[in-house]
Chains A and B, each alone.
Chain A
């Protein structure tokens, strides 16, 4: 093998310095890309940590919407949605679903009446593809951007007396949510709640035309609106017991209503509802047939990441779904890594520490 003369010792030192420099630049670029040198960058770990209550997160549980109950059933598509999207679950047919009714709290044992926001996690499977979604009952989101959501969580934790005041001054969209939270009734059952996507997604039809869409699942059950106090009297875990009994008696239904944006509607800002009078399409019915406890139910280990979409549905210019995907993955990574802390197949009502690997 060709062997060239060795360099002089001075040249060799120069070369060693050069090699060390190349390695250092490589390592530095890597650290910079990973955010290790930029503590101000909003990362998924920071965003998820900000959700934790003062006592720290409930290990093994979702970092938000931690209290919930699983269900299975079908999505009965009437085919009308195919006018907007070629997604396989919008063609006429019955498609299996797994989902989760939940409360927007990081505390899995929070009393029902202490939680303002309720949620629905849903996966519809058709033709080997899934459509996952996570929706809530308010008509709009409290803030306009993921950064603002983080700032809101931080303001909530802050010991500064005027942290919240300063936040509201900088985020004029928040009071509308405050007004909703203070005035909206508490429904006596998950079956009476309407769940909204809030985020806008792009539906692409068979001809390739794109439509910006938000959707809602509207309950078939007659609502029984209660005041917070009357609702609290039903008990701390009323919603789960009630939905289990109700579904055991008869399947419960929600209609999927797709709302199509008109040019100029704010697709990128879920804190702004679209004006009335938009074109809507009733695409089918969600039929909840069986309710199961989370601890041994089929929804526990699913991440209802709203960006896991079928062909024919994709994200829009709304910045939330990407931020949520990053945060939900972080939450999922943490809670699956904490499997030892989750009360697995413990019998109902057992203390949380009674865990069984």
Chain B
């Protein structure tokens, strides 16, 4: 059952959703590191880093939109009844935030370059059209948004990671397993007590 990307049981995200989650987690963490790495160097690697940043960022935009559609179709497993209401609320709000940033950050990056009258050229010479007219005020606003939201994104991911591990190691309530990178069948659902 779990091998079928189109089916989920009540306890797990579909295989497709889990594959997207972990693929994009790697991609987004790479984006954040490339981002802060490239703006802090003047070495020749600056240019390939910027090109990778733009290309991977647009790939993440496409994947995030696809992932959102998948989410609407297949939904998500319910959080365990044992979770206190404020914790559930925090989980839901942080997931909205993560989706908003996965879609918002690349759009802001693209819009920022457009407002700066820069050509938007990706790996392989793929050229994207401008999505905003040139404007220094918009460029300034979007630049600041891209930088501050990037740091907020990283902080949110760290919290999300801590929460995921908290579920996995301490609460052991199946929330981590619902998104586990391994197919649900191959790992024990319950961990023996110490």
Contacts and interface: CB of A to CB of B under 8 A. Distances in A.
Given A22-B165, A41-B41, A336 B194 contact: no
Contacts of B50: 325
Interface stretch (A23-31, A101-109, A231-239): A23-31
B186 interface: no
Interface of A: 1-8, 11-12, 15-16, 18-20, 22-23, 26-27, 29-30, 33-35, 41-44, 47, 128-130, 146, 301-303, 305, 307-308, 311, 315, 319, 321-323, 325-327, 332-333, 335-337, 339, 357
A20 B125 CA distance: 43
Given A7-B172, A34-B36, A129 B119 contact: yes
A34 B37 contact: yes
Nearest to B127: A128
A327 B119 contact: no
B166 A19 contact: yes
Interface stretch (B14-22, B102-110, B135-143): B135-143
A15 B169 contact: yes
B117 A23 contact: no
Shortest Cβ-Cβ A-B pairs, 9 listed:
A34-B36, A35-B40, A15-B169, A5-B193, A336-B136, A4-B172, A337-B140, A323-B42, A2-B189
A322 B169 contact: no
A2 B174 contact: yes
B161 interface: yes
A318 to B, nearest CB: 9
A138 B113 CA distance: 32
A11 B140 contact: no
Given A3-B82, A15-B170, A301-B117, 7 more contacts: A4-B192, A11-B194, A22-B161, A23-B158, A33-B40, A43-B42, A303-B117
B88 to A, nearest CB: 13
Interface in B36-67: 36-47, 50
A126 B56 CA distance: 27
A128 B12 CA distance: 47
A326 B33 contact: no
A315 B41 CA distance: 17
B170 A6 contact: yes
A2 B177 contact: yes
A97 to B, nearest CB: 14
Contact of B42 (A5, A30, A326, A339): A326
B95 interface: no
Interface string B164-182: 0110011111100110000
Nearest to B47: A322
Nearest to B175: A1
A303 B36 contact: no
B172 to A, nearest CB: 4
Given A5-B193, A11-B194, A327-B42, A23 B140 contact: no
Nearest to A11: B194
Contacts of B161: 22-23, 26
B174 A336 contact: no
B144 interface: yes
Given A22-B161, A22-B165, A303-B116, A3 B174 contact: yes
